[in-house]
Chains A and B, each alone.
Chain A
């Protein structure tokens, strides 16, 4: 049975351990374009843990970008929080699957927002 505060411990660990110092200071993943490069492994296969962390960070960055446009979907954040719980219990495959679902949703939300930036005008009653 996981301790009650495991989610928060995991969240703190996840957001801080693999990231540059300034990401820790801002309380979240580094979502700058250059951050992807710093998270690359050098030529070797990624462990499930590394795969998950990378996927989670990318998903969370996309979720934040969708939220900034007011276009976040309802379940995305919940999926990512569930992925943290799974990671906390060492179930990396489950955690990765949830993070990937979250990433997919966040990507779709962003596509939707970009498309709707113009498309809504065509629906105004005339």
Chain B
């Protein structure tokens, strides 16, 4: 009770948080329909949107999807495939990740679920951020296109709520030599210019990963993007798929509940 009195906002439930989060962006950009936020910066920046639409004519991530499709069908040493690990995988499962895994007591992302699947069936774990796991993730996002994000923070799992809160804390905590939080750029300054680019809205951030970035000429995962942002504010990044980044993904993806998966995507 004392905690609630001291800071009721910080301890609001996930759904209250999501409603407030959505309401902020609706108020900030009243002309943009909710579903448009799935397009990230292209919901806000018309010039960039036109370039993006041109890029999407010949999607640069298409080969990655094909590679992922092939990997998905490959058999593990015990004869099983990824489809044996992911129920209803034909209709897509990306929209349900990250999820809280009661067995490990931790947040499981698509990447950690892929490796868990491999381990269970006698295959070696893949390197996070490596070509194979990115291709598989891209394929899984592709299969889930059009499916609304549906992240759950189970009320009967205190560890799930703790993970969510840790992600929320990460998101709003200033860090690094520039003393900036995720929210400073993607909430407070959303739509403002940072050099020649405009800052995207956090609402919809997780819908389109992994993305092909023209800047790097390759695919980038959400955690690599997290790592880049943390580095940009002058803080030492956490490892890909670290507890910190998985919990951040849990919070951030919950905030985008209801938006359609539209990955893989293309970004500048």
Report which A residues bind B (CB closer than 8 A).
Answer: 67, 70-77, 105, 108, 112, 116, 119-126
Contacts and interface: CB of A to CB of B under 8 A. Distances in A.
A74 B235 contact: yes
A126 B20 contact: yes
Nearest to A67: B236
Size bracket of the B interface: 20 to 34
B172 A120 contact: yes
B174 A120 contact: yes
A121 B12 CA distance: 11
Interface string B235-262: 1101000001000000000000000000
Contacts, number: 64
B173 A125 contact: no
B181 A73 contact: no
A77 B20 CA distance: 39
B234 interface: yes
B9 interface: yes
Given A72-B235, A73-B234, A74-B231, A119 B9 contact: no
A11 B43 CA distance: 51
A116 B12 contact: no
A112 B179 contact: yes
Contacts of A124: 9-10, 12, 17, 20, 168, 172
A56 B181 CA distance: 29
B175 interface: yes
A76 B235 CA distance: 9
A114 to B, nearest CB: 12
Given A120-B174, A125-B20, A125-B23, 13 more contacts: A70-B244, A72-B235, A75-B177, A75-B234, A76-B236, A120-B172, A122-B10, A123-B172, A124-B12, A124-B17, A124-B20, A125-B17, A126-B9
